[in-house]
Structure 1
Amino acid sequence: MSFGKIAVDWEERINLDRMRRERVERAKTACKKHGLEAALLLHNDNVRYVGGGDGVHMWHGVSGYRYALFFTEGETVLYEAGMRKNYMERALPWCKVEYAIPIMPYLATSTPEGVYEKQLEKFANQIKASLKEHKLSKEVLGIDTNSPAVINALKKVGIETSLKCSKAMMEARKIKTKDEVECLRMAAGIAEAIFSEFKKVIKPGVTEMQLRAIATYTAYMAGADWASAPDINSGPHTSQGMTIQCSDRAIRPGDLIAAALCNISYNGYKTCYYRTFSCGRPTEAQKDAYKKALDLLYSAINAIKPGATTKDIAEKWPRAQDMGSAKRPNEDAAVLMQWGHGIGLGLYETPVISRIWSLDFPEKLEPGMTIALETLWPTEEKSYEYPYGQAVRIEEMLHVTETGVEILSKWPVDEITVCEI
């Protein structure tokens, strides 16, 4: 990271006001490109992107508790859950804040028949009134989520919708501003504080769950605003990728530990950052597997430059049938094993890179994109305790620049991180 996390008057750090303004301008430009003058944003990441603040963490994604109307001309209207509305009026002076009509999807099955339909009717009339106020009642309304229930409710009150809004928001978000990239550097730095603690505490008897607890505590102490259950896999749990999220399995000598720090967030910007540790010195087979995974990762990274495509990356990875003991019958069956994706306010943003589709449907890489690339390779050492062997996993966070690529993640990657016993 370049600077500290607190605001100071003696050094240019992350300029949050500039970041908000530049994100709004990018969203306006993208919506105009797609012929949209107004957009209904239901996904929390999109709401946050245009200045609508953050929802509580149980409201991530499309919650139905809060949403926003975004205009290419005029002030964004945030519709906030009733209990938070007064607070958000003071917290977000750049938005108009109104009460949201609760339209949580679970109302369709968890309440008596007719409740959800009635809520959607009230919601649709609320949106119609706001569009009329902005003299846009006859215009097509962009919507960022393919929700048939919401789209049909709006149609019933005469509002035509377009899913081009979803594409527009992804186009806006795929190129990061200077301050967004700095937020991702900060998030990566927090992840590295966690890896440092892992190197100190990994030893026989420590459980995957204990490492998760240490990771969560360290993340918040290092300045994270959210730490979503880091995934820790050890020994036989590594052998087929990320077998499970985490368990009470105790680490033993000879184990590999795949640490996946996903969704460690700084100011909303997420990590996806993996490293492999060993309990004791690794075997030659473990070193060989790590070298293979590292070569696959960096051959893909070295293909990144403006004008290159996602096909150029995916071509560096082996066919699903050629992945040793981790092989799969086809590319669909190997999903997530050699993988890439955009990263920002969302854990998965555009582009999403896989041999499943990137070879036939390539996307152009552009300066300002931030992506994460991850690789896996099996050790081929099988035993009674490790019937499928073990596997290594590595991931880097990257920033596409005008001349190539900046690696945002800095934890040493040349070899397995050894935890001596």
Structure 2
Amino acid sequence: MSPASDPNARSLVQAGFSSDPPVSNPVALRAYRLARLRAELRARDYAGLLVTDPINIRYATGTSNMQVWALHNAVRYAFVPTEGPVVLFDFHGGLHLSAGIETVAEVRPALSWFYFIAGAQAPERAALWAREIADLLRAEGGGNRRLAVDKCEPLGVDALRREGVEIRDGQEVCERARAIKSPDEVIAMRRSVAVAEEGMAKMQAVLTPGMTENELWSHLHQVNIARGGEWIETRLLASGRRSNPWFQECSDKPIAAGELVSFDTDLIGPDGLCADISRSFLCGQVTATVEQKRLYGLAREQIEANIALLRPGLRFAELAERSWRLPETCRPNRYSVIAHGVGLCDEYPHCGYVEDNDRGGGYDGVFSAGMTICMESYIGEEGGDEGVKLEEQLLITETGVERLSRFPYEEVLMPSRWL
């Protein structure tokens, strides 16, 4: 029974969201993304971009094929010239998958050279692969040999350099392009958020003492797949004492009445857009403890205070410096980031806590209209019993911030000041 038809569940209509928002215009979305990439390439005077990461291939071409498998098997790649036709190289038997995709001018069989596929022939295959890429660069680059590359093993890097290719950072190009969303991307993201929130509503409805963390987590997956979603990037759900410190993934532990259940969706939904929302539930028909309410109230306070700071033109360093200060007893267990970008996955920017910046926890930059941002909170005392995880997904507009996530907070856990 779905949450919407279950009289004991909070329906999606009551919660204020729908799983069926308008579908975005895929042709306009693909054109926008390709133009964004090419603008970044022109700004750096690069002749083109070679992408192997499935996330970046999808952004550049609008195509996908066995996304999770291709994350660790480099069986697909695409050559995106700054000026000229895009060539997609696809896995064996998959050349037909891009039929009708207007951003792809040509599809060729991929020449895979990683060890699983090539074995001892990897060096020879890498040389052939590099020669084909270099030929495309010569044909479209007008003498410019600078090629942005997102991910490539050392064997491929060496082979490209032997062909005279000047390798530049392609991940920077892709992350900066992906940072600003088009209206069509926002529509697609709303759809993923709605799917995630439907799954969260089902989790809330079925949560009963005695079920395991894995059983509860499975309901989010089921709704995502049934609604056309793709995968979930982590297994971040923990109950009771396993919720502090954070980052323990779900297990076969039974959830007891009165325990907090904290989770992070990390959901890749329809059209490949990420819905990254966190909540904490209370298991069973019980009264929350004073301590549970205190932790929940602190997490809510952190989320709301930091969202109030967010606006176009705000610098990442300003957010870090002005952000809500964690209680001393919660700082050792602080989350890894205050806020981060979200799109096809977690992406640029990454805004860390001030105390982590010297260790690579953050960097400076500017929040801009069109960015979609997740604001994070984890509140758990050092040595404490439980922890609360909250996270909201937001769109920065020309005038401020719009909340894309709208899943209700847990009233039984909120202190009176939030009711």
Q: CA separation in 2, counterparts of 1:415 and 1:407?
A: 19
Name the CA shift for 1:389/1:360 in 2 (closer, same or farther; >3 Å): closer
Is the Cα–Cα contact under 8 Å of residues 216 and 230 in structure 1 kept in the other structure?
A: no
Name the CA shift for 1:360/1:222 in 2 (closer, same or farther; >3 Å): closer
The reply to whether residue 402 of structure 1 matches residue 412 of structure 2 is no
- Greater mean alpha carbon deviation, residues 16-25 or residues 334-343: 334-343
Q: How far is the alpha carbon of 1:77 from its aligned partner?
A: 0.4
* Residues 250-269 of structure 1: per-residue CA shift (max 9 Å, x gap): 11011000021113322011
Q: How many residues are matched? A: 391
Q: Give 1:269's aligned residue.
A: 273
Name the CA shift for 1:335/1:290 in 2 (closer, same or farther; >3 Å): closer
Q: Give 1:256's aligned residue.
A: 260
Aligned-partner SS, 2:377: strand
Name the CA shift for 1:335/1:124 in 2 (closer, same or farther; >3 Å): farther
Q: How far is the alpha carbon of 1:361 from its aligned partner?
A: 3.3
Following superposition of structure 1 onto structure 2, how do residues 102-113 of structure 1 map, counting pairs within 5 Å? 102-104=112-114, 111-112=119-120
Partner AA of 1:368 in structure 2: G
Is the Cα–Cα contact under 8 Å of residues 292 and 377 in structure 1 kept in the other structure?
A: yes
Out of 101, 122, 133, the residue aligned to residue 116 of structure 1 is 122
Q: CA separation in 1, counterparts of 2:298 and 2:237?
A: 21
Name the CA shift for 1:106/1:28 in 2 (closer, same or farther; >3 Å): same
Q: CA separation in 2, counterparts of 1:359 and 1:116?
A: 37
Out of 308, 318, 322, the residue aligned to residue 325 of structure 2 is 318
Is the Cα–Cα contact under 8 Å of residues 137 and 159 in structure 1 kept in the other structure?
A: no
The reply to whether residue 64 of structure 1 matches residue 74 of structure 2 is yes
Q: Percent same amino acid among aligned pairs?
A: 25
Aligned-partner SS, 1:50: helix
Is the Cα–Cα contact under 8 Å of residues 43 and 63 in structure 1 kept in the other structure?
A: no
* Residues 350-369 of structure 1: per-residue CA shift (max 9 Å, x gap): 10111122998321110000
Name the CA shift for 1:137/1:152 in 2 (closer, same or farther; >3 Å): farther
Q: CA separation in 2, counterparts of 1:228 and 1:338?
A: 17
Following superposition of structure 1 onto structure 2, how do residues 2-401 of structure 1 map, counting pairs within 5 Å? 5=20, 13-61=23-71, 63-85=73-95, 87-95=96-104, 96-104=106-114, 111-112=119-120, 115-134=121-140, 136=142, 138-145=144-151, 147-163=153-169, 165-228=170-233, 230-242=235-247, 244-279=248-283, 280-315=286-321, 316-318=323-325, 322-324=327-329, 326-328=330-332, 336-346=335-345, 348-355=346-353, 356-357=356-357, 361-378=363-380, 388-401=384-397
Q: CA separation in 2, counterparts of 1:249 and 1:30?
A: 48
Q: CA separation in 1, counterparts of 2:111 and 2:413?
A: 51
Q: How far is the alpha carbon of 1:416 from its aligned partner?
A: 5.6
Name the CA shift for 1:359/1:267 in 2 (closer, same or farther; >3 Å): closer
Q: CA separation in 2, counterparts of 1:148 and 1:155?
A: 11
Is the Cα–Cα contact under 8 Å of residues 189 and 273 in structure 2 kept in the other structure?
A: yes
* Residues 300-344 of structure 1: per-residue CA shift (max 9 Å, x gap): 11110011122232231436xx542x442xxxxx57345321110
Name the CA shift for 1:137/1:217 in 2 (closer, same or farther; >3 Å): same
Aligned-partner SS, 2:314: coil
Partner AA of 2:168 in structure 1: S
Q: CA separation in 1, counterparts of 2:252 and 2:291?
A: 26
Partner AA of 2:101 in structure 1: L
Is the Cα–Cα contact under 8 Å of residues 19 and 177 in structure 1 kept in the other structure?
A: yes
Q: How far is the alpha carbon of 1:13 from its aligned partner?
A: 4.2
Is the Cα–Cα contact under 8 Å of residues 228 and 262 in structure 1 kept in the other structure?
A: yes
Partner AA of 2:344 in structure 1: L
Q: Give 2:4's aligned residue.
A: none
Aligned-partner SS, 1:275: strand
Is the Cα–Cα contact under 8 Å of residues 199 and 417 in structure 1 kept in the other structure?
A: no
- Greater mean alpha carbon deviation, residues 404-413 or residues 37-46: 37-46
Partner AA of 2:369 in structure 1: P
Q: Give 1:331's aligned residue.
A: none
Q: How far is the alpha carbon of 1:144 from its aligned partner?
A: 1.9
Aligned-partner SS, 2:173: helix
Aligned-partner SS, 1:83: coil
Is the Cα–Cα contact under 8 Å of residues 37 and 139 in structure 1 kept in the other structure?
A: yes
Partner AA of 1:342 in structure 2: G
TM-score, with length taken from structure 1: 0.85
- Where in structure 2 are there 5+ consecutive unaligned residues? 1-15, 415-419
- Greater mean alpha carbon deviation, residues 364-373 or residues 309-318: 309-318
Name the CA shift for 1:281/1:103 in 2 (closer, same or farther; >3 Å): farther
* Residues 191-234 of structure 1: per-residue CA shift (max 9 Å, x gap): 11111112211111111110121111122223323344543211
* Residues 358-395 of structure 1: per-residue CA shift (max 9 Å, x gap): 99832111000011121111268xxxxxx741011100
Q: How far is the alpha carbon of 1:134 from its aligned partner?
A: 2.7
Name the CA shift for 1:251/1:375 in 2 (closer, same or farther; >3 Å): same
Is the Cα–Cα contact under 8 Å of residues 372 and 398 in structure 1 kept in the other structure?
A: yes
Is the Cα–Cα contact under 8 Å of residues 337 and 375 in structure 1 kept in the other structure?
A: no
Name the CA shift for 1:150/1:218 in 2 (closer, same or farther; >3 Å): same
Name the CA shift for 1:73/1:416 in 2 (closer, same or farther; >3 Å): farther
* Residues 85-141 of structure 1: per-residue CA shift (max 9 Å, x gap): 2x2242535311011111336569xx34xx221221111011122223335465211
Aligned-partner SS, 1:192: helix
- Greater mean alpha carbon deviation, residues 207-216 or residues 309-318: 309-318
* Aligned residues: CA RMSD: 2.6
